[in-house]
Amino acid sequence: MLVPVLRAGLALLPAFTSAILDASVAFIGIARDEQTAQPDLYYTRFPAVMPPRALIVDPMLATAGTACLVAELLMREGFSAHAIHFVGVLASREGMDRLASVIPRANISVVAVDPELDAQKFIVPGIGDYGDRYFGT
């Protein structure tokens, strides 16, 4: 099951659905509170039949607050930590460590890891807000 995190995760969804043709898709909507950098869950929709594995798809892993919340939601739906995987583009070291406290580090795949977060909890040097860049907002 693919689990794109709305909104930025939608940018990666077409590539995954073209590679995994029979994948079901769950949608999780989480906004980041810009004052506290905490995740705010606003939407969930799971398929009627749950497959044995879940792949969280989110381009950025900064604090890992969002990814950890998604993993916790999946565990409440019956997934074990070992059945949950994360795929992204860019992560911070802090985010990698935090998510690895919830799911196995071997289940976390990103293209690059940047060294730190700034005061606003954005990845440094990073690329800014992925969803805003992708959707032009």
Which residue in this structure is represented by tokens 């004052």? 35
Q: Which of 32, 58, 63, 114 is catalytic?
A: 32
Q: Is 32 a catalytic residue?
A: yes
Q: Which of 33, 36, 97, 105 is catalytic?
A: 36
Residue 15's contacts (CB-CB under 8 Å, 6 or more residues apart) are none
The CA-to-CA distance between both ends of the chain, in Å, stands at: 28
CA atoms within 13 A on the CB side of 16: 21
CA dist 90 → 55, 94, 123 (Å): 16, 12, 8
Q: Which of 33, 40, 118, 132 is catalytic?
A: 132
Q: Is 36 a catalytic residue?
A: yes
Provide the annotated active-site residues: 32, 36, 129, 132
